[in-house]
């Protein structure tokens, strides 16, 4: 049984924002795949505002070379969307691996971000695409980089009165891009490791490398020093070995030594080797 709450169904963005500002303890719901589980476990809200049908949150637009993805778009839609496959292959792949078909038909990208799990599959791809979240309240509108929105595992800087309207990403063309993950099972499993990558090479050199690692540290992160090391470097085993050593060191620096690292770090090393060698 779910706790008592009143539910309202927003038809427009304005309606959702106005309810967010006037109601006492509201919570946004879209797919419900995380929130319904939490409410069932006892989490209480006075009101639940359903935004799954708000047209503005279901659209994808391209402006000034940036792609804006509506927050209520489902994983199923993103994983098969032509513009996403073309501009952000890692995101399409990651969305296609979330949960199960039912979860992908229900769960949304906005929900995945607002839940801010360290193992959220959509986050590493969004990081390599320099994602910026558009957060709106009745009075304000701000654009915040994804790195700054997630402040701790399952904690974001999104205000209670704010609605995550869309996610803006930088398309990457001409990159070898993908998403690799390790989980206990092939499907319906939480990622134990997730690596998003986009690599550009020319005449035996790395001209650009973008990497993001999920499920290893409290928040998925981009090892920027490793990216800088590789950018412009000649592609050879020595540089790849050094890059991976630096990435593993950075993880230990962020999290200290964790019991799971006995397994995770050697596996991550293997994934990074494959990804960088290409």
Partner 1 sequence: MKTISFVLNGKKTSIEVDDNETLLGALRERLGITSVKEGCGIGECGTCTVLVDDEPHYSCLTLASKANGRDIKTVEYLSSSGVLHPLQEAFIKSGAVQCGYCTPGMLLCAYSLLLKNADPDARDIKEAISGNLCRCTGYIQIEEAIKNAAEICKCDR
Taking CB under 8 A as the binding criterion, the range among 4-12, 58-66, 211-219, 264-272 that sits at the site for partner 1 is: 4-12
**DSSP strand pairing (6-9 vs 47-50):** parallel
154 binds partner 1 per the rule CB under 8 A: no
| Nearer Cβ to partner 1 (31/124) | 31
Q: Tokens representing 205?
A: 């050199």
Taking the complex as a whole, the smallest distance from the CB of residue 4 to partner 1 amounts, in Å, to 6
Q: Which of 12, 105, 115, 170 binds partner 1 (CB under 8 A)?
A: 105
CA distance 196 to 230: 16
The half-sphere exposure of 270 on its side-chain side, counting CA atoms within 13 A, is: 9
Taking CB under 8 A as the binding criterion, the range among 34-42, 63-71, 117-125, 176-184 that sits at the site for partner 1 is: 34-42
Taking CB under 8 A as the binding criterion, the range among 28-36, 118-126, 153-161, 200-208 that sits at the site for partner 1 is: 28-36
CA distance 78 to 69: 9
- Contact pattern for partner 1 over residues 168 through 207, marking x by CB under 8 A: ------------------xxx-------------------
Q: Tokens representing 201?
A: 């090479």
Cβ contacts of 50 within 8 Å, gap of 6 or more: 7, 8, 9, 10, 29, 30
Q: Closest Cα partner for 89 from 177, 211, 193, 174?
A: 177
Cβ contacts of 217 within 8 Å, gap of 6 or more: 118, 251, 254, 255
Taking the complex as a whole, the smallest distance from the CB of residue 51 to partner 1 amounts, in Å, to 11
Considering only residues 61 through 80, tell me which ones interact with partner 1, judged by CB under 8 A.
Answer: 76
Taking the complex as a whole, the smallest distance from the CB of residue 81 to partner 1 amounts, in Å, to 15
152 binds partner 1 per the rule CB under 8 A: no
Taking the complex as a whole, the smallest distance from the CB of residue 50 to partner 1 amounts, in Å, to 7
Taking the complex as a whole, the smallest distance from the CB of residue 189 to partner 1 amounts, in Å, to 10
99 binds partner 1 per the rule CB under 8 A: yes
CA distance 18 to 229: 48
Q: What DSSP string runs through 5-61?
A: -EEEE-SSHHHHHHHHHHSSSEEEESS-TTHHHHHHTT---SEEEE-TT-GGGG-EE
Taking the complex as a whole, the smallest distance from the CB of residue 43 to partner 1 amounts, in Å, to 12
Tell me if residue 71 falls in helix, strand or coil: coil
Q: Which of 13, 18, 32, 231 binds partner 1 (CB under 8 A)?
A: 32
CA distance 165 to 170: 17
Taking CB under 8 A as the binding criterion, the range among 96-104, 131-139, 203-211, 234-242 that sits at the site for partner 1 is: 96-104
Contact residues toward partner 1 (CB under 8 A) are 2-7, 9, 29, 31-33, 36-37, 40, 48, 50, 52, 76, 99-103, 105-106, 186-188
């Amino acid at each position: 049984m779910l706790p008592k709450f009143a539910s309202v169904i927003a038809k427009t963005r304005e309606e959702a924002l106005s309810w967010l500002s006037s109601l006492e303890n509201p919570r946004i719901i879209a797919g419900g795949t995380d929130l319904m589980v939490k409410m069932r476990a006892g989490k209480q809200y006075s009101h639940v505002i359903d935004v799954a049908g708000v047209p503005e949150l279901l659209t994808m637009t391209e402006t000034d070379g940036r792609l804006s993805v509506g927050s209520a778009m489902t994983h199923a839609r993103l994983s098969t969307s032509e513009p996403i496959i073309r501009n952000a292959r890692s995101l399409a792949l990651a969305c296609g691996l979330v949960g199960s078909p039912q979860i992908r038909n229900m769960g949304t990208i906005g929900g995945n971000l607002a839940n801010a799990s360290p193992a959220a599959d959509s986050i590493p791809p969004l990081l390599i695409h320099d994602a910026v979240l558009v957060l709106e309240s009745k009075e304000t509108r701000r654009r915040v980089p994804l790195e700054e929105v997630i402040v701790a595992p399952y904690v974001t800087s999104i205000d209670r009165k704010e609605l995550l309207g869309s996610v803006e990403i930088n398309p990457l063309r001409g990159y070898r891009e993908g998403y690799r993950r390790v989980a206990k099972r092939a499907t319906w499993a939480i990622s134990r490791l997730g690596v998003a990558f986009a690599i550009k090479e020319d005449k035996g050199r790395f001209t650009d490398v973008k990497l993001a690692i999920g499920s290893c540290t409290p928040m998925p992160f981009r090892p920027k020093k490793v990216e800088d090391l590789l950018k412009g470097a000649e592609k050879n085993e020595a540089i790849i070995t050094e890059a991976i050593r630096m990435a593993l060191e950075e993880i230990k620096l962020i999290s200290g030594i964790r019991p799971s690292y006995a397994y995770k770090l050697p596996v991550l090393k293997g994934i990074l080797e494959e990804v960088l060698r290409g």
